Structure formats: C-alpha cells, structure tokens
Structure 1
Amino acid sequence: MDLPRDGEFAFLSEAEAARLRTFVREAFAERGIEVTVEPGRVTTVSGWRFGLSNLAAVCHHDSRGPRCWRTLVDEHVDRVIRSMDGPQALRALPHERLLAQLYPRFIPSDPALLKAFGYGPRSVPGLLEVLALDLPETVDMLTADSLSDLGEITALRDRAFQNLRAVRVDRHKVVKDKDGSHFDVLTGGSYFIASLALVLDEVVRRYTKDAPAPDGILVTLPHRHQLAFHVIRDRSVAPSLHAMARFAAMGFEQSPGALSPSVFWWHEGSFTQVATQDNAGLHIRLTQEAMDLAARFAGG
C-alpha cells in the first residue's frame, strides 16, 4: 500500500515524518532545551536553527528501520548541542592546524545566508561556495566575520584548494546503459566530495586518464558525498544528460547533505545549468545550452 508522503521529506511517509519530529522534540526536551519543530527544521528559544533534512535522510537510509531512529536522533542532537556549547575552533586551535583543516564547501544558496556566507566567488548556480573547517565531530562553515581573523581570503581559499586535492574518494564507478549514456560517479565519506567540482579538470584526468574535451564536461552535485561527470565528446551527450538528470534528482531527494538536482555544463572553468528534473519527477527540463550541445553532436 502506498502511504501518503510527507510534504517536506518525500522519502518518508507522513506517519514516519511525524514520528521523527516527535523524537527530535523529545530529545531536545530531555536535555533541557525547548524547541519549536517545523517541517524542515527546529528553532530554539534563543534563536538557534537546525535543519532536519540530513537527519531525516540518515534515518531513512539506516537498514535497521524506524526502531533505531530514536538512537540516531539522540546521537544527532548530542552533536548539535556540543557544537553550540563547545569552544570555538577558531580560538581554540593553532593557526597552522586550522589551515590544515580548511576546505571549500558548497551549501544551497539562500538569501538569508548571503550576508554571512556570500563572500565566495560565484561558481555553481544555486550554490554558495564557502570555507569550512573539518573538525572531529562537525564541519564548521566559516562566516565572513570569522574569516577576518584567520587571514586574507584569497590565500585562505588557495590553502583550502590545496587540502581539497588530497580529499579521499572511496569509490569510483562508471554508470552505463544500453542507450549509450555513460558517466563517472565519485563517492566518499568526506563532506567535500562534491567540492571536487572546483578542480574538475584535475579530477577527470585523475580518474579517466583522459584530458577534458574542448566541448567541456557535464557534472552533477546531488549531495555533499557525491560527484558525477561525463566528458563531452560525441552523440552520447544527449542520453547521458538525461540519465544524469535522473541520477541527480534521486540523489538530491534521498541523501544527507543535499545540494542540487541539476546538471551543469563545465566549460573553460565556468558552470552553466543545463538540465533539471521537475518537482513531479516526470520530465527533464533542458536549457537552450543543453539543446545546443545535443544538436552539435546529433549527426556524429
């Protein structure tokens, strides 16, 4: 039987999502913190806000099922509280250690975040590029104000990119289908796998031993732990574009750290959105750039 789906987390039923939110409210209350639970986040009386999308995805993907959700919620809430109450890393850690743990990270763009996190260059449409500290239990995104005490932004970004190039990818696979579509998928436990899009030409050479073609690369960043790409060379660009749009939409909906359901065209260092799947998951919407790319190779 197909149960009614939750309006915020479509991968959960209404009953499952209600149970999860109840667990979250109870976990905070047991730790002496009153929160207001909204569909996609909680807000404390002091104004702290925490999103629920990552926790919901973690619970959904745990093979033990809902019987373990309360434990997962407790662990998550404990980490949140420690991040609220613990010492600020920027004040507690030596400067060189901070630099060694500095990485570029994408977060979904939101007008409310621009003042604190809009300092990065505009790269991938719909996402903000920020600098973050990779700490033992959390990843702390650094605001514009906090960076002022750490150093000059260009030098900090250069160091973050240096660290990014050493990020470990746990799995590399090639997805192929009989329609001719094919693309590479990189996955890992690091929170910065998607950030590898910022050094995409280097990544392609590393994992395909193939220099990028003059026509560029299709790329998706469904969530923070995944990056997929297709080097554009021939008529396989059209079916690969559609396959990647479906792949990105699924990963975006079902995984922690969701970033974007879109496909982007990387060309000469710039990203352009070329495809996305509609909200109903039924149709792929292509931009003019996508149609131009497909037409260019249609007879090849």
Structure 2
Amino acid sequence: MGLFRRGPKRDGRDAPRDPEFSFFSADEGARFRAQVREAFAEQGLEVTVYTDMVSDSAGRQFGLGNLAAVCHNDERGPRVWPELIHQHVGMVLRTMDAPSALETLPAEQIRAQLYPRVVGAEGLDPRNFAYARTVAPGLYEILALDLPESVMMLTDEALEPLGDLPYLRDQALYNLRGLPVEAHETVKDSEGMRFEVVLGDSFYTASRVLALETLVRQVTGEELTADGALVAMPFRHQLAFHAIHDTGMLPALNAMAAFAATGYEDTPGAISPYVYWWHGGTLTQLSDRDEDGEGLQIMIGEEFQELLERLVAKEKGHLGDEN
C-alpha cells in the first residue's frame, strides 16, 4: 500500500466524466456498472443499476461508492475490475444472506472482536447511531464488530443487548491497543521535515488515533509529551503523526496538510482531508480548504498559538545559552 498513490493509465482527464464518480470517464463508468450488473447476475441476482447503487427485486440496495474507489485506485487498471467486482459482490451477498453474527456468536467472542472506528458524518444516520461520540467536527467514534469478510457497524439497537456502553467502549479500545503495526514509513525531506505514517489492511488503522499514545510508543519507542502530536487520518488504512517537541512541527504541519488532502481524494473509506492537533485525547482541526475551495489553509487557534510561541521562545533561549 503506497503513501502517494498513482492512478493507472486510463482515459485522459479531457474525456467526458462520469456524472457520479468523476474519477471515471463516462466510458469507464459505463463499463464499471455493466461489470457490476454481470457480477450480480453470476450470483443469480438480477439488479437495477443506478448511478451510485444497484437494487434487487426485494428492494435491497447496494452502494457502489467504495467499490468504484477500489477499482479506481487499483494500479493494475481496468483489466482487474471484473475480478475485484466479482469478489466484492460475492462477499456482500454472503454477508447479507448469512445469519447475523450478533445472533450466532457468544457474547465473549463479540466483545473480543469489538473495535472503535472513526468515521465521517457522511453516511452515518444519527437516528441509528445516537450513541456515536463526536471526536472532532464531522468525525465520530462508533463501535464495530470485526468479522472474517466484513465489518459490522453496530447501531443503537445492535448494542442494546450487549451490555453497558462505557464497558463496551473500554473493551473495544483495549482490543484496538492490542493490534500490531502492519507497516510504518517515515516521510521526510532534506531540510528536516519529518512525520510518520502507519499503514495497514486493517479497517481500524486510522482509528488508532483513539489510542495514539500506545501507537506512538509502538512505532517510535517514545512517549508523547503534554504538547501532543499532529495527526491526519485521510482514509481508514492510513494514520500520519508527528510528535510535537519543537518548531519542527511547522514544516510537518504544512506537509501533512497536503498529504491528508491528497490521500482523502477518491479513496474507499475516506475519513478526513485535514490535519488535527491531538492533545490529551482531544482533536483540534488545523487545516481546511481555502475560501475558493481550490487550495489549503492552516488555521491556528489561540491555544495552539500559545504552544507555538512557547516553543519559539524555548528555542531562542537555547540559542542564547549557546552564544
């Protein structure tokens, strides 16, 4: 899984675009949907294809957004789309047709497979996830059940028979802290800018921001200070961080802002295109789109400004001592 993904060679950007998935050309979108229809037919299910979903005769709806992004981001190009689509459709139908894991798994096993997930507001129905905890503006923590072929996001109704919510959340966080680091890369330049990126196939890689102190210790062997860290969670399989020690956080902040915005675009499981300041478990947004929506801007609030001024003064003091 690369840090900066390169799209496969496909139709040029000057080709007419698909009305729903702009990363596809119109022809690619038509080909993608035809292959989706064919994959369902191979499973014995006739579906009506819409721009963003398909629907069967029983009224079941299957969204296409994540699958379209998976196909778009596969560097092997359109030649592997039929295989990817076939695998996805088979997995979705097996999951839907199988008995609910909440009914078949013992409570102890459910708790052992429980994890917290950080998700964006898009697609999260507050009527079904009233318990969701706000992590940052537009970001929420929910609980999910990890299954062999899928992840079940647990609604209020699903959680009710499982026990006390604070206890379930504590158990989920315990499980999250126990996950291994699948891969780690350092992004740096010749001028000293540096930040760390944790990558993995796990659907909970980005959600490890909820247990950041443990993750930083695993990756760097060091403890976070009270000043915290810069973090970015562009999509579910990546988490970037820079532990704050000095004003070296400023070039890291600018680089991470670009990294987050790029990683967020057209990815399955997109979470946030922004950088945040993690301090004491709280996330404060530091980057945003500029007014015309074309570029990025850094937003520094009063508390972060005080931190920056203190670090600058500290470095000036050290320089004075050396002189």
Instruction: Flag whether TM exceeds 0.5 (same fold).
Output: yes
Counterpart Cα distance in 2 of 1:112 and 1:221: 18
Q: State the alpha-carbon separation in 2 of the partners of residues 60 and 111 from structure 1.
A: 21
After TM superposition, give the deviation of residue 145 of structure 1 in Å: 0.4
Aligned residue in 1 for 2:177: 165
Equivalent residue of 1:222, what SS?
A: coil
List aligned pairs for 1:137-176, cutoff 5 A.
Answer: 137-176=149-188
Of residues 2, 7, 14, the one that matches 1:3 is 14
In 1: Cα distance, 2:143 partner to 2:253 partner: 30
**Is 2:28 the counterpart of 1:51?**
no
Residue 211 of structure 1, CA deviation: 2.0
Conserved? CA contact 1:36–1:44, under 8 Å: no
Counterpart contact for 2:232–2:276, Cα < 8 Å = yes
1:99 aligned partner, one-letter code: R
Letter of the aligned partner of 1:266 in structure 2? W
Identical aligned residues as a percent: 45
1:49-128 pair list within 5 angstroms: 49-110=61-122, 113-128=125-140
How many residues are paired up? 299
CA displacement at 1:276 relative to structure 2: 3.1
Decide which of 189, 210, 219 is 2:231's aligned counterpart. 219
Q: Which residue of the other structure, out of 188, 191, 198, is the alignment partner of 2:200?
A: 188
Structure with max Cα Rg:
2
Q: Secondary structure at the match of 1:215?
A: coil
Residues 36-64 of structure 1, C-alpha deviation per residue, up to 9 Å, x if partnerless?
Answer: 4224x334454444332321232223343
CA distance in 1 between partners of 2:49 and 2:73 (Å): 25
Match of 2:305 among 284, 292, 297: 292
The answer to whether the 8 Å contact 1:105/1:132 transfers is: yes
Aligned counterparts of 1:95 and 1:189: Cα–Cα separation in 2: 26
Structure 1 residue 279 displacement after superposition: 10
RMSD across aligned C-alpha pairs, in angstroms?
2.5
Contact preservation (8 Å) 2:143, 2:169: yes
Q: Which letter does structure 2 place at the counterpart of 1:58?
A: V
Partner SS, residue 234 of structure 1: coil
Which AA in structure 2 matches 1:38?
T
Aligned counterpart, 1:239: 251
Match of 1:25 in 2: 37
- Mapped to 1, the partners of 2:110 and 2:291 lie a distance apart of 40
- Structure 2 Cα separation of the partners of residues 56 and 270 of structure 1: 33
> Shift of the alpha carbon at 1:78?
1.3
Q: Label 1:165 to 1:56 Cα distance change in 2 as closer, same or farther (>3 A).
A: same
Distance 1:102 1:177 in 2: 39
Higher mean alpha-carbon deviation, 160-169 vs 55-64, is at 55-64
Contact 1:180 1:240 in 2 (8 A): no
Which 10-residue stretch deviates more, 215-224 or 116-125?
Answer: 116-125
1:280–1:28: structure 2 CA closer, same or farther, 3 Å change rule? farther
Contact 1:168–1:190 (8 Å) recurs in 2 = no
* Paired residue secondary structure (2:288): strand
Distance 2:259 2:18 in 1: 22
1:237 and 1:294 map into 2 onto residues whose CA distance is 11
1:35 is matched with which residue: 27, 48, 51?
A: 48
Code of the residue aligned with 1:37 in structure 2: it is Y
Q: For 1:6-50, what per-residue CA distance to the aligned partner results, in whole angstroms no more than 9, with x for missing partners? A: 4544443333233212222333345324234224x3344544443
TM-score (norm. length: structure 2): 0.83
- Residues 123-166 of structure 1 show CA distances to partners (whole Å, capped at 9, x for unaligned) of 13322211111111111111110111111111111111111111
| Cα gap change, 1:50 to 1:179, in 2 (>3 Å) | farther
Mean CA deviation greater in 102-111 or 229-238: 102-111
Consecutive unaligned residues of structure 1, counting only runs of 5 or more, are: none
Moved more, 280-289 or 223-232: 280-289
Q: Retained in 1: the 8 A contact 2:37–2:46?
A: no
TM-score normalised over the length of structure 1: 0.89
